[in-house]
Structures are given as structure tokens and as C-alpha cells.
Amino acid sequence: DADVTQTPRNRITKTGKRIMLECSQTKGHDRMYWYRQDPGLGLRLIYYSFDVKDINKGEISDGYSVSRQAQAKFSLSLESAIPNQTALYFCATSDPYTEANYGYTFGSGTRLTVV
């Protein structure tokens, strides 16, 4: 099994619908992140969590919310999806003591299309 698992892998949804993207990890890392990737814009941080009780907004949090249900699980929700939220979404984890050697561990991504 992958260290960081994202579900679903692909999703098409309609404008206005609520959708949840899920992320689970077996790395035992406290830190988890949600990024979105658009062509030419690299990865942009949506939300991040440094432990179960800690949630922080990233640079593009508007229209999104998150839930850290446990150390291993970090979910991203789009309350009312809109077409410009069509993107590739990545979940990542890290351990501050090993980031220098291993960086972040990314999931395989969720390709979301809002029509």
C-alpha cells in the first residue's frame, strides 16, 4: 500500500455540489498538507495541519475547508464547487526531523473536474 493514499483518484462533479477529497497516511507523520496544482502555477498551498488540533490556512483557502480526523487522516472539502476549482489536488505529509533528507511525501493526486 502507498504511504499516502488519496481518494478518489478522479472525480467529475457539478457546479454547486459539495465534495470531499480524502487523504490517509501510514507514515506516522504529524504534518499534513493540501495543495492544488494548475498548469504553469506549480503547487499552491490550500490548508495545512501540524497536528490533530492544529489547522492553518494556506495561500488559497477561500472556498475550501478541511478536517483532521486523526493523525493519519486529513480531508479537504469544497462546500460549493465551482469550475475554477478544476485542478489536480495533492495531499502531502512530512516529519520536521527528516524533511532535509526525504522532503515531503505526496499522494498520487486527485484530478477534480467541476462542470
Partner 1 sequence: GQNIDQPTEMTATEGAIVQINCTYQTSGFNGLFWYQQHAGEAPTFLSYNVLDGLEEKGRFSSFLSRSKGYSYLLLKELQMKDSASYLCAVRGIGIKAAGNKLTFGGGTRVLVKP
DSSP 63: T
Q: Which candidate, 3, 88, 79, places its Cα nearest to that of 37? A: 88
Asked if 104 interacts with partner 1 (CB under 8 A), we say yes
Asked if 12 interacts with partner 1 (CB under 8 A), we say no
The residue with cell 483557502 is 61
CB of 18 to partner 1, least distance (A): 26
For residues 76 and 32, the answer to whether their CB atoms sit within 8 Å is no
Q: How many of the chain's residues bind partner 1 (CB under 8 A)?
A: 28
The residue with cell 462542470 is 115
Asked if 34 interacts with partner 1 (CB under 8 A), we say no
Residue 59 DSSP SS3: coil
CB neighbourhood size of 54 (10 A): 11
Of the candidate residues 8, 28, 41, 82, the single one contacting partner 1 (CB under 8 A) = 41
Of the candidate residues 80, 103, 113, 115, the single one contacting partner 1 (CB under 8 A) = 103
Of the candidate residues 19, 21, 23, 33, the single one contacting partner 1 (CB under 8 A) = 33
Q: Which candidate, 11, 22, 15, places its Cα nearest to that of 107? A: 22
Asked if 90 interacts with partner 1 (CB under 8 A), we say yes
Residues near partner 1 (CB under 8 A) are 33, 35, 40-45, 48, 50, 54, 56, 58-59, 88, 90, 96, 99-104, 106-109, 111
